[in-house]
Amino acid sequence: MTAQEILARLRALGERDVPTQGGRTLSYVYDSGLAEADELGRSALGMYAGTNGLDPTAFPSLLAMENDLVAMAGGLLGAPAGFVGSVTSGGTESILLAVLAARDAHGATEAQRAAPSMVLPTTSHAAFHKAAHYFGVRPVFVDVDPDSHRADADAMAAAIDDTTILLVGSAPSYAHGVIDPIPAIAALGRERGIRVHVDACIGGWLLPFLDDAPPWHFAVDGVSSISVDLHKYGYTPKGVSILLHRDAALRRSHFFAAADWPGYTMLNTTMQSTKSGGPLAAAWAVSRFIGIDGYRDLARVARRATLDLAHVIAAEPLGLSVVAEPDSTLLALAASPDAGFDVFTLADEMHSRGWLLSPQLPFRGGPASVHLSLCAATAARLPELLEVLRASVAAARATGPVSVDPAIGAAVSQLDPAHLDDATFDVLLAMAGLGGSAGLPERMAQINALLAVAEPALREALLLAFIDRLARPQEL
Ligand SMILES: *Cc1c(COP(=O)(O)O)cnc(C)c1O
């Protein structure tokens, strides 16, 4: 194939993807709506794609850009003199490193070293589950306040013991978009001498520009580290997050060096070793281009649209409700009990009209919902979003709610995922509409309805079996 044919093929392959621009994709991608910023980001990404952050002495440009970006982040997040930061590949990596640094902290007690644990709200991002799994840190989950969906600091206090290495709060939480009571959590950390990580992956580049955010960053004494993703509300290309620490001593335990082999001495500040400088250069370029004033405008526009949308949801008889009053630009919408439709069908209807909302399965007594992260480009289309939402609600009502055969539901809720073999998974996946070589299903409502009656462990097992079958080599 010629280069031209290959490029045409790449374009064709992307045709079924959700659009990354235009503001109609309300999770996974974030669009500033600034064409010039996007173009600049892509140029910088390409310009530095082949560089390697493995060795800052070979690529001093990357070290300079990293320090620059960290300085900007520190300025936004109230960091005190002496703060440090590391640029990572994304929010998950930042969180993994925050947990690792806490686990391996110099001065950990015998109990903390022997059986480390962390205390975190049940609404914490799934990346903490991954960190717990990777690093052998026992997660102690604490239920949040059932009305506000914010962390319950008193309950967290009661869950702390002599093995606790870390306390966690979100600003805001992904699923409900609310900010945890960071001052109360940070006070606990200070009193007990335990690190406090604030997960501001999604809010960290947005909340500093809003007037009505409660205190949540380094200005709160006791906050040890903060994660903030540039590839969300920094509106930069994918692959950049920052993990900030209040001081250099807190960070040191996530660094890694290996000299005891015959090659170069491997010296890594983050999890990756060879790492492209492209995403870092793109973030450096876009963040300078948009700048503080630009980000302030974008944040306010997105916040205004979020409040307006929440207002319409409350005022119109759509059969929808906002799960929690939004503290930022994220909304979770649930169907009212008498709505006559379900949110999974609503998401399918929206998708067929070109809008992506992401379904959230029922969790710990809470309802199923759909998640919306509103960005600046979405704000410009708010009237269109409302129109499509009304039409989708009407269509979902006409279809009626999806239901799971009670016998199947009962059978599924009895299954123990630890004891299922591949053949059983094949049967279950076929039942769920995820079987065979059908590839990706068009409509997800039936599948989500079935997942919704399964326990989280079974959801995980089923979806892992699904991705295992999808991720197989094929002729393109
Ligand atoms: C997105 C997000 C993460 C994880 O970030 P990735 O970049 O997807 O790895 C963690 N926490 C919160 C609150 C997030 O929104």
Judge if 274 and 301 occupy the same domain: no
Judge if 114 and 157 occupy the same domain: yes
pLDDT band of residue 419 (cuts 50, 70, 90) is confident
Q: How far is CA 348 from CA 102, 303, 356, 359, 446, in A?
A: 41, 26, 8, 9, 10
Cα of 201 from ligand 1 centre, angstroms:
5
Residue 264 pLDDT more than 70? Answer: yes
Residue among 274, 282, 77, 250 at smallest CA distance from 166: 250
Would 14 be classed as within a structural domain? no
pLDDT tens readout for residues 132-186? 999 999 999 999 999 999 999 999 999 999 999 999 999 999 999 999 999 999 9
Judge if 205 and 117 occupy the same domain: yes
DSSP symbol at 369:
E
Last residue of one domain, picked from the residues 263, 286, 309: 286
Q: Which residues contact 287 (CB under 8 A, 6 or more apart)?
A: 69, 72, 230, 234, 236
When divided into structural domains, the chain yields a total of 3
* The pLDDT value given to residue 251: 98
Average pLDDT value for the chain:
96
Which of 288-292, 300-304, 434-438 bottoms out in mean pLDDT, i.e. has the lowest? Answer: 434-438
Domain housing 252:
43-286
Would 29 be classed as within a structural domain? no
Residue 435 pLDDT more than 80? Answer: no
pLDDT tens readout for residues 222-256? 999 999 999 999 999 999 999 999 999 999 999 99
pLDDT tens readout for residues 333-367? 999 999 999 999 999 999 999 999 999 999 999 99
Cα of 202 from ligand 1 centre, angstroms:
6
Cα of 125 from ligand 1 centre, angstroms:
7
CB 92 near ligand 1, within 6 Å? yes
Judge if 48 and 188 occupy the same domain: yes
CB 128 near ligand 1, within 6 Å? no
pLDDT band of residue 437 (cuts 50, 70, 90) is low
Q: Are 244 and 79 in contact (CB under 8 A)?
A: yes
Judge if 60 and 174 occupy the same domain: yes
Would 131 be classed as within a structural domain? yes
Judge if 388 and 245 occupy the same domain: no
Residue 438 pLDDT more than 70? Answer: no
> CA-CA distance, 423 to 308, in Å (whole number)?
49
Exposed e or buried b per residue across 366-405, where buried means at least 16 C-beta atoms within 10 angstroms of its C-beta: bbbbbbbbbbbbbbbbbeebbebbeebbebbbeeebbebe
Q: Which residues contact 469 (CB under 8 A, 6 or more apart)?
A: 429
Residue among 371, 331, 361, 374 at smallest CA distance from 445: 361
pLDDT tens readout for residues 3-54? 999 999 999 999 999 999 999 999 999 999 999 999 999 999 999 999 999 9
Q: Which of 88, 97, 178, 229 for a ligand 1 pocket mutation test, highest count of atoms within 8 Å of Cβ?
A: 229
* The pLDDT value given to residue 434: 79
CATH no. for residue 359? 3.90.1150.10
> CA-CA distance, 167 to 300, in Å (whole number)?
30
CB 125 near ligand 1, within 6 Å? yes
Judge if 246 and 282 occupy the same domain: yes
**Ligand 1: which atom is nearest the Cα of residue 95?**
10
Last residue of one domain, picked from the residues 247, 268, 286: 286
Last residue of one domain, picked from the residues 345, 372, 399: 399
Q: Which of 134, 168, 202, 225 for a ligand 1 pocket mutation test, highest count of atoms within 8 Å of Cβ?
A: 202
Strand partners, 332: 371
Residue 275 pLDDT more than 80? Answer: yes
Residue 209 pLDDT more than 80? Answer: yes
> CA-CA distance, 454 to 443, in Å (whole number)?
19
Residue 46 CA, distance from chain mean position: 25
Q: Which of 125, 150, 173 for a ligand 1 pocket mutation test, highest count of atoms within 8 Å of Cβ?
A: 125
Token code pair at residue 287: 């963040």
Share of the chain above pLDDT 90, in %: 88
CB 376 near ligand 1, within 6 Å? no
**What DSSP line would sit under 7-54, residue for residue?**
HHHHHHHGGGSPPSSSS-B-SS------HHHHHHHHHHHHHTTT-BTT
Q: How far is CA 327 from CA 56, 86, 169, 349, in A?
A: 39, 27, 14, 27
CB 170 near ligand 1, within 6 Å? yes
**Ligand 1: which atom is nearest the Cα of residue 231?**
7
Judge if 354 and 317 occupy the same domain: yes
* The pLDDT value given to residue 407: 87
For residue 234, with 0-12 CB atoms within 10 Å meaning exposed, 13-18 middle and 19 or more buried, which class applies? Answer: buried
Residue 318 CA, distance from chain mean position: 28
Judge if 439 and 357 occupy the same domain: no
Judge if 228 and 328 occupy the same domain: no
Cα of 313 from ligand 1 centre, angstroms:
26
- The residue count of the chain comes to 476
pLDDT band of residue 411 (cuts 50, 70, 90) is confident
pLDDT tens readout for residues 73-132? 999 999 999 999 999 999 999 999 999 999 999 999 999 999 999 999 999 999 999 999
> CA-CA distance, 436 to 454, in Å (whole number)?
21
Judge if 47 and 68 occupy the same domain: yes
* The pLDDT value given to residue 220: 98
* The pLDDT value given to residue 436: 65
CATH no. for residue 184? 3.40.640.10
For ligand 1, atom 5: residue with the closest CA:
91
Cα of 470 from ligand 1 centre, angstroms:
24
Would 8 be classed as within a structural domain? no
CB 347 near ligand 1, within 6 Å? no
Cα of 430 from ligand 1 centre, angstroms:
31
Cα of 139 from ligand 1 centre, angstroms:
18
Would 91 be classed as within a structural domain? yes
